[in-house]
A = this chain, B = another copy of it.
Amino acid sequence: MTYKNLDTSTAFKTLGALEASDLRQVLNPERIKTYQVKASDTLMYNYAAMPIDEHHLSVLQQLSDELQLTQKYQALVDGNVMNTGENRLVLHHLTRGQVGKTVEADGEDKGAFYREQLSRIKTFSDAVRSGTIVGSTGKRFTTVVQIGIGGSDLGPRAIYLALKGWCTREGIEQLNAQFISNVDPDDAQAVIEQLDLERTLFILVSKSGTTLETLTNRDLVIEAIKKSGITGIDPSAHMVAVTSKSSPLASSSSVLDAFFIDDYIGGRYSSTSAVGAVILSLAYGFETVQLFLEGAHQADLAAQSPKISENAALLDALLGVYLRNVLHYPSTAILPYSQALSRFPAHLQQLDMESNGKHVNRDGETLSYPTGPVIFGEPGTNGQHSFYQLLHQGTDIVPLQFIGFSVSQYEKDIQVEGSSSQEKLNANLVAQIVAFARGKDDTNPNKQFCGNRPSSLLYAKQLNPSVLGSLLAHYENKVMFQGFIWNLNSFDQEGVQLGKVLATKVLNGCEGDEVLESFIGLL
């Protein structure tokens, strides 16, 4: 296997010499039918509205082959050290199934370790949901609160919200879930004041067991429990930990139980590990989690094909690089036409920007081309009444990723003016794809739409646990492939360290740093 920078690739040079297709011209039924690839059995990726044709596709395949993208993926799932900066394996795929070889590390079979944690999560959540495990005053738990930040918050929160409607319609008994993340004390307070503490189970999530925000919020919660005046309530019987085996929380008497992750699961890739599984299994039951994991595993398997015509994550990654490095578009919007995905763009923002927002390659050499774009987004149709103005008529082009579903989650809908709300929703989605691509001429320049705005569409029948798993894994794998293309390490986050060091310095009285002193003096 060889690693090289994108700008040294022969295929990339060829790609740069091709003219982009003009989206005002190329859309037709045949293209819309054929320019798509399965991301899993349930999720489809359509790229008809991307500014490329067969020539580009052929060169993108060459680029993938030249950069050995799927071989690198195979090396990753086979347990090679792909997080070079931190000298770690990258094993989040293994939390949902076996894609490569059996991986041994830390003296154990890592697949077996993750399966064991899942099994323990099932036993524990079954016991809580059935009332075998109850709170310290004898009452059943009705609410679970995750205390975590970053990857311990954004992914699990997005997934919890994404499945609520589906689980409700399926009649699945639910525990209410809440999240505390910010060190801002108002975040914890706003949650705590709504809780029936006797019936609340807290899930403390920190891989290291030392995350400042998380431990501080844990202490705020313990303080609130102690001050509640409830006779006999014991905070430690209302708290479990998700952490690494070596962390101070792992065997602490201050928690009821602990579930384990390890150093090979990055925070932003941890939604399918215990970090996501504990809260989802408590809230919706273990079977829902299993469906979710199976969907993710399916997408992981689909991402193994070296052919871009069979590998949606790979093709999505390559097209993204075409937009970023050939057409020079600096940002991408994620636009789910599903209110259930309201926080999914925030999760993808972390996943993508924290993974590929890097300026050095995997060997630490400065890169001379742009890497990860700015990612943002809100659900449609809300976004249409907000920032779409700029997307349609602004001076910059922003590539778009639409997500859509045929059927709503609750399946409670009405006909108004001859169509259901779901039909209106999808009519809008389709209308936007076409409006962005084709534009519109008008003698009034204010009503002129330049068009030629690229987009893609991920779609499925309904947002259920399996589809959500596929969607999540599709993006994780897309980001991974882009990291390989840019020849960087998508699995560390050294960029968060300097802020931590300086924050500690401020809390220590600034240690003579007059600039810090002056700024903190303002607040």
Contacts and interface: CB of A to CB of B under 8 A. Distances in A.
Interface in A428-478: 428-435, 438-440, 444-450, 457, 459
A381 B149 contact: yes
Copies of this chain assembled into the complex: 2
A434 B387 contact: no
A354 B449 contact: no
Nearest to A345: B376
A256 interface: no
A482 interface: no
Contacts of A409: 186
A374 B371 contact: no
Contacts of A331: 330-331, 374
Nearest to A193: B168
B182 A382 contact: yes
Interface stretch (A105-113, A118-126, A499-507): A499-507
| Residue of A385, A393, A423 with most partner-chain B CB within 10 A | A385
A195 interface: no
Contacts of A29: 514-515, 517-518
A175 to B, nearest CB: 15
A408 interface: yes
Nearest to A422: B185
B425 A183 contact: yes
| Residue of A380, A416, A517 with most partner-chain B CB within 10 A | A416
A505 B432 CA distance: 12
Contact of A189 (B349, B410, B450, B494): B410
Contact of A359 (B181, B267, B394): B394
B382 A149 contact: yes
Contacts of A379: 182, 184
A87 to B, nearest CB: 12
Contacts of A187: 339
Given A337-B184, A506-B427, A494 B447 contact: yes
Nearest to A412: B189
| Residue of A186, A429, A497, A504 with most partner-chain B CB within 10 A | A186
Contacts of A267: 385
A51 interface: no
Interface residues of A, number: 153
Contacts of A395: 358-359, 367, 369-372
A220 B410 CA distance: 13
A62 interface: no
Interface string A331-368: 10000011110000010011001101111100011110
Interface stretch (A228-236, A244-252, A398-406): A398-406
Contacts of A27: 515
Contacts of A503: 424, 427-428, 430-431
A390 B424 contact: no
Nearest to A185: B421
A171 interface: no
Interface stretch (A210-218, A274-282, A308-316): A210-218
A184 B413 CA distance: 9
A386 interface: yes
A111 to B, nearest CB: 28
B495 A389 contact: yes
B33 A185 contact: no
30 contacts: A29-B515, A29-B517, A149-B385, A150-B384, A164-B190, A181-B382, A182-B379, A182-B425, A183-B381, A184-B337, A185-B408, A185-B412, A212-B424, A213-B381, A223-B414, A354-B388, A357-B390, A357-B393, A357-B394, A359-B393, A360-B445, A360-B448, A370-B395, A371-B395, A388-B496, A405-B523, A426-B520, A427-B506, A435-B498, A457-B522
**Across the A-B interface, the 6 shortest Cβ-Cβ residue pairs:** A357-B390, A150-B385, A431-B502, A357-B394, A376-B376, A350-B386
